[in-house]
Amino acid sequence: MKAVYSDLHRRHDPQFFLVRGVVQRTTEQPERADRLLAGLKAGKHTLIEPTKFGQGPRARVHSPEYLSFLAEAWDAWSALGDAGPEMIANIHPVRNAATYPTHIVGKLGWHTADTAAPIGKGTWAGACASSDVAVTAAQMVLDGEDAVYALCRPPGHHAYRDMAGGFCFLNNSAIAAEHLRQKHERVAILDVDVHHGNGTQGIFYERGDVFTVSIHADPSFFYPFVWGYAHERGAGPGLGTNLNIPLAKGTGDDDYMKALALAERAIRSFAPTALVVALGLDASEKDPLAGLAVTTDGFRRIGEGLARFGLPTVLVQEGGYLSDILGANLTAVLGGFEAAR
């Protein structure tokens, strides 16, 4: 399996992370990509440089106001003269406000769901490169590749149409799915990150052409807390095309595979002709966020399960944080996929 990667992700190097009132270094660090690259090397995957697709694929998913905000945010923030080294909102209107703000501090609050997506000087460049990685992988699949892995950083599945959050700015999985829609009438997105793919769900919630499925730690105890429950099924034309499968804290391999089998049955009923996998590796038993307890062999089994769909597949990297086995888990899931294909 070929893998798409850009070193431009390093321009995004966030520092701030607020956890239960304690400020600490974020877990979404450039070193993540280094460990994932080691996993690709161990699996002997060929690295491909992404193509620059420009704003078009991003604009199919994200609003014009949001993209303008991200592109211009750092310059406007820097012009304040007394602002901090990263953009972190001190106001979150939660859309009860009636007026779109004109001041950068107001816009920052409007376009961020939480404090876990600090914006720095290189964030926009890094996020654009990440989306290009995802679109390049999707284009390769459109051009005939059976499956392609996209090493996207920063990740994307918590980003809404016009709102960042949870380390995410541009929704790479949604952008890849929308790109596949140029050829495929029905596309499924299967999110196996430990966190619910709330941004992806929100983007497609009222659409019937993209089926979103998320297997994740139960939001009753885990981020994002207010999205990701089983009763969230979509709305309007999208009613029935969203499936959430929340899992108990510490769920291991066997029960995870049961959830994956449930997801497979639902996706087969939808009958898509292409699949996007939002490939989080933070369900690992060794991940510092400690939600689930999937082993490295469990990730191999997950890879085998994903291959059974038999669909043209784009695997988009989402979470998976610093642990000694992060690279091995990537090697395992891609190796399992290839072995079962």
Using an 8 Å Cβ cutoff, are 134 and 170 in contact? no
Q: How far apart are CA 33 and CA 44, in angstroms?
A: 16
Query: What digits encode the pLDDT tens for the residues 68-88?
Result: 999 999 999 999 999 999 999
Bin 290: left if φ > 0, else alpha if -120 < ψ < 50, else beta.
Answer: left
What letter does residue 182 receive in the DSSP assignment? T
pLDDT at residue 338, rounded to an integer: 98
Q: Provide the CA 77 distance to its chain's centre, in angstroms.
A: 26
Q: Report pLDDT for 92.
A: 87
**Residue extents of the structural domains in the chain:** 2-340
- HEC secondary structure over 211-261: EEEEEEECCCCCCCCCCCCCCCCCCHHHCCCEEEEEECCCCCHHHHHHHHH
- CA–CA gap between residue 82 and residue 254 (Å, rounded): 53
| Active-site entry in 9, 45, 111, 158 | 158
| pLDDT tens, position by position, 145-190 | 999 999 999 999 999 999 999 999 999 999 999 999 999 999 999 9
Query: What is the C-alpha to C-alpha distance for residues 326 and 296, in angstroms, rounded to an integer?
Result: 9
Respond yes or no: is residue 92 known to be catalytic: no
Please name the fold of domain 2-340. Arginase; Chain A (3.40.800)
Q: Which residues of 197-229 are buried (b: 16+ CB within 10 A; e: fewer)?
A: bbbbbbbbbebebbbbbbbbbbbeebbbeebbe
DSSP string, 190-208: EE-SSS--HHHHHHHTT-S
What pLDDT digit, counting tens, does each position of 211-247 carry?
999 999 999 999 999 999 999 999 999 999 999 999 9
pLDDT at res. 11 = 98
pLDDT band at 94 (very low <50, low <70, confident <90, very high): confident
What is the pTM for the complete model shown? 0.98
Instruction: Report whether pLDDT(316) > 90.
Output: yes
